[in-house]
């Protein structure tokens, strides 16, 4: 399985773990590239922000953090964030493929766009503040943040390798991506072991 397939399968496994553990936001269907149409309404017309009508907007505290008080709520929010990260990792892999096919300009553009998206996704994940006294959930969250930050860092290293035409950097980033996939797989197993009652 190529790098793109491994990353996608690992993120899908995390989403399945959250879904199987009682977080019903995500349904797993045959994976086909398609655009999802969302119905949105403005939250604040002054800033143009929008929210998905099908789910309530998470509570934010004064610092801009998203407060989460239960495992179900955490699972729903993290499932959406994980889907976003999956999309950007897919875009990153497509960028690397374009570079490999000789389209350096198009490939670099995809790499940069994917990294921009990952930066926002990591910021969204970091903004989650667990308000319940749940040490296991806090550990899982800290590990997931670390893994997603790792994906962002490795993706930046890969882009730098492309820009500098540095094969050693590209090889390092591939190895580091595989290590992150292993960590994500281990975290998925941990989430699965918690059981449906707990997450």
Average pLDDT value for residue range 96-103:
95
* Alpha-carbon dihedral 173, 174, 177, 178, rounded to 10 degrees: -140
Residue-wise burial string across 128-152, b where 16 or more C-beta atoms lie within 10 A, e elsewhere: bbbeeebeebeebbebbeebbebbb
Domain layout of the chain by residue ranges: 3-27+69-194
* Least-confidence region, from 17-21, 105-109, 114-118, 165-169: 17-21
pLDDT reading at 1 higher than 90:
no
Alpha helices in the chain (DSSP H): 3-20, 71-100, 104-126, 135-164, 167-194
Contacts of 144 (CB under 8 A, 6+ apart): 14, 78, 125, 187
Q: Which two tokens stand for residue 168?
A: 């050693």
pLDDT at 12 over 60: no
Under the banding of pLDDT at 50, 70 and 90, the label for residue 172 is very high
- Running DSSP on this structure, what letter comes out for residue 53? T
What's the gap between Cα 47 and its chain centre? 25
Q: Which residue has the higher pLDDT, 18 or 176?
A: 176
Contact 132, 69 (CB under 8 A): yes
With 0-12 / 13-18 / 19 or more C-beta atoms within 10 angstroms meaning exposed / middle / buried, residue 110 is: buried
Average confidence score pLDDT of the chain: 77
Average pLDDT for 90-101: 96
Question: Which region among 32-36, 71-75, 151-155 has the lowest average model confidence (pLDDT)?
Answer: 32-36
pLDDT on residue 66: 86
* Interstrand relation of 49-52 and 40-44 (parallel, antiparallel or unpaired): antiparallel
Contact call for residues 48 and 18 (beta carbons, < 8 A) = no
């Amino acid at each position: 399985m190529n790098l793109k397939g491994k990353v996608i399968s690992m993120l899908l496994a995390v989403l399945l773990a959250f879904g199987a553990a009682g977080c019903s936001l995500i349904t797993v269907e045959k994976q086909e590239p398609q655009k999802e149409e969302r119905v949105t309404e403005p939250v604040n017309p002054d800033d143009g922000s929008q929210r998905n009508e099908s789910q309530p907007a998470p509570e934010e505290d004064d610092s801009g953090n998203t407060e989460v008080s239960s495992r179900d709520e955490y699972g729903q929010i993290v499932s959406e964030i994980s889907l976003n990260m999956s999309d950007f990792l897919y875009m990153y892999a497509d960028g690397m493929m374009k570079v490999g096919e000789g389209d350096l300009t198009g490939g670099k553009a995809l790499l940069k766009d994917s990294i921009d998206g990952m930066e926002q996704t990591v910021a969204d994940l970091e903004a989650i503040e667990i308000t319940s006294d749940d040490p296991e959930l806090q550990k899982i969250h800290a590990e997931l943040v670390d893994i997603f930050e790792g994906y962002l860092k490795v993706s930046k290293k890969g882009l730098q390798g492309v820009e500098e035409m540095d094969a050693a950097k590209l090889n390092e980033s591939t190895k580091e991506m595989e290590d992150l996939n292993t960590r994500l797989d281990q975290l998925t197993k941990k989430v699965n072991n918690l059981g449906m009652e707990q997450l």
